[in-house]
């Protein structure tokens, strides 16, 4: 166990990061997080002569659909301790490519948010994403770059019988008179820093 300045080995660390209405939920683990930025480079042209360009918007949309299908088909495991119990893969932000309607965009930028069950390795998933991108590059004669905006493999869970979990459960039951339950959550809490040795 790594001990950080300001903490002692016997300290119990509570992170009030995960809310529950009755106060009986104790979060002991979380999913991995992978945020990706994609830049698709085509060739700008006028919409009246699309054959002179490569529409980056269309190619990016094709890549989004392929990634969506591949990720949801390949990574199907469930863990009922999580809510939701599966990994989530969602295209989210999309940057403005051009400011006017009558231009065929030569560049398109979009982002993907992935909350992944700890059973999966993020590097393996990322390699599959790269494979899809390379296939699209070849088929459409574009370039696709992928940036890891956030890439955080889930740390090992806090054991359910750890002193901090048992002490917290006892205190909650005593004060709030509710049953406690250990759960796992979506990811990105401060507790992950302590679990993963990054605090």
State whether 38 and 102 are in the same domain.
Answer: yes
Count of domains in the chain? 2
As a whole number of Å, the end-to-end CA separation of the chain is 13
State whether 126 and 116 are in the same domain.
Answer: yes
State whether 170 and 126 are in the same domain.
Answer: no
Task: Collapse the DSSP code of 74 into the 3-class scheme (helix H, G, I; strand E, B; otherwise coil) and give the result.
Answer: helix
State whether 70 and 116 are in the same domain.
Answer: yes
Q: Report the distance separating Cα 89 and Cα 175, nearest Å.
A: 39
82-96 confidence digits (pLDDT tens): 889 999 999 999 999
> 169 lies in which domain range?
1-31+155-199
Q: Report the distance separating Cα 132 and Cα 67, nearest Å.
A: 7
pTM: 0.84
Put residue 6 in one of left, alpha, beta given phi > 0 → left and psi -120 to 50 → alpha: left
Q: Which residues in 35-48 are b (16+ Cβ under 10 Å) and which e?
A: bbbbbbbbebbeee
Q: Report the distance separating Cα 183 and Cα 185, nearest Å.
A: 7
- Of 152, 169, 186, which one is at a domain's C-terminal end? 152
Q: Report the distance separating Cα 130 and Cα 137, nearest Å.
A: 10
Quick one: pLDDT at residue 1?
Answer: 47
Q: Which residues of the chain have pLDDT under 50?
A: 1
Consecutive H or E run containing 4: none
Structure token pair of residue 172 = 């909650």
162-197 confidence digits (pLDDT tens): 888 888 889 889 998 888 888 877 776 777 777 766
């Amino acid at each position: 166990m790594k001990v950080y300045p300001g903490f002692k080995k016997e300290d119990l660390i509570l992170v009030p990061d995960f809310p529950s209405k009755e106060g009986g939920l104790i979060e002991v683990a979380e999913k991995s997080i992978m945020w990706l930025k994609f830049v698709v480079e085509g060739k700008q042209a006028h919409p009246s002569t699309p054959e002179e360009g490569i529409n980056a918007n269309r190619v990016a949309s094709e890549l989004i659909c392929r990634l969506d299908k591949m990720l949801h088909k390949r990574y199907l495991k469930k863990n009922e301790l999580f809510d939701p119990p599966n990994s989530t893969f969602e295209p989210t932000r999309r940057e403005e490519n051009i400011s006017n309607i009558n231009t065929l965009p030569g560049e398109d930028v979009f982002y993907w948010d992935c909350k992944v069950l700890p059973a999966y390795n993020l590097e393996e998933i990322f390699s599959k994403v790269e494979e899809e991108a390379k296939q699209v590059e070849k088929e459409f004669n574009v370039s696709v770059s992928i940036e890891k905006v956030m890439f955080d493999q889930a740390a090992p869970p806090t054991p359910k019988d750890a002193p901090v979990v048992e002490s917290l459960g006892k205190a909650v039951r005593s004060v709030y008179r509710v049953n406690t339950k250990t759960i796992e959550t979506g990811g990105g809490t401060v507790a992950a820093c302590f679990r993963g040795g990054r605090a």
